[in-house]
Amino acid sequence: MNDTRAPAMPSGGGTTSVAEAASGEPRPRGFAHVESWIFDLDNTLYPAGSPLWPQIDQRITAFVAGLFGIDGMSARALQKYYYQRYGTTLRGLMIEHDLDPAIFLDFAHDIDRSTLAADEALAIAIAALPGRRFVLTSGSHGHAMKTTAHLKIDHLFDGVFDIAAGDFIPKPDERTYLRFLGQFSIEPAKAAMFEDIPRNLEVPHRLGMTTVLVAPRAEHETREAWEGEGGSARFIDHRTDDLAGFLTQIK
């Protein structure tokens, strides 16, 4: 019985087969060539277990309830319907109800960040990255600045690209990535993208970026199950539940 594994390991198994080569990317992309480091904000630059995203989520529900004069359960259902159909609840409200995005964003991001401590390990790891660093978020610029300030990493970025800069078209729409890359003259083949939502890494990988999924082992505790689809996909080069630790190991 103990011998059964031996014949299952063909000699030369470590080489790339023709089939692998023909199918695209047999090996995960590395970081030696990377000049631009791109980070999602929520649940990526701070841990998914932090009490930030649940607050935003609840305030969006409250906003929808107040806007339509409906109860919390109905508002929740409508919020998630917009989110699934349009990528963000905000975009659904803008398209279907001509909502002023500034009113929504100010309300949704008016949260308590006091429990978010400075992340010294992350600051050191990001500061050591060679090249430029960016935040690419579906939240507002103000939310990104306040949140990174609490983490004490706000001084480490060369630019923040928010949902308004992307004309309120959220990831994973390709237009938003292209607009972001163009604004900062980033060459995607020399960039790496860090994200907690798998589907937001598909376009970056297709454009040539090295992709890293930042997610806890017990996934999808605070996010939707459908968002996690594709978590084992080929467009994800690396995955980690410890962003600072991962960055520190990059050679």
Minimal distance, residue 13 CB to Mg ion, in Å: 37
Based on the shown chain and the rule CB under 5 A, indicate whether residue 119 belongs to the binding site for Mg ion: no
In the list 34, 36, 40, 91, the residue contacting Mg ion (rule: CB under 5 A) is 40
43 is written with which tokens?
Answer: 């649940």
Q: Which is nearer to Mg ion, 125 or 135 (CB)?
A: 135
Q: Token pair for residue 23?
A: 């199918």
Collapsed DSSP state (helix, strand, coil) of residue 199: helix
- Using DSSP, state whether 228 is helix, strand or coil: helix
Report if residue 42 touches Mg ion, rule: CB under 5 A: yes
Q: Within positions 191 to 210, which residues make up the interface with Mg ion, using CB under 5 A?
A: 196
Q: Measuring CA to CA, which residue among 100, 98, 165 is closest to residue 137?
A: 165
Residues with Cβ within 8 Å of residue 104, at least 6 apart in sequence: 63, 90, 93
Residue 65 vs 247, nearer CB to Mg ion: 247
How crowded is the C-beta side of 133, counted as CA atoms within 13 Å? 19
Minimum CB separation from Mg ion for residue 26, in Å? 29
162 binds Mg ion (CB under 5 A): no
Q: Segment contacting Mg ion (CB under 5 A): 38-46, 101-109, 169-177, 241-249? A: 38-46
Residue 44 or 61 having the CB closest to Mg ion = 44
- Supply 187's token pair: 């060459």
Q: Write out the residues near Mg ion by the rule CB under 5 A.
A: 40, 42-44, 196
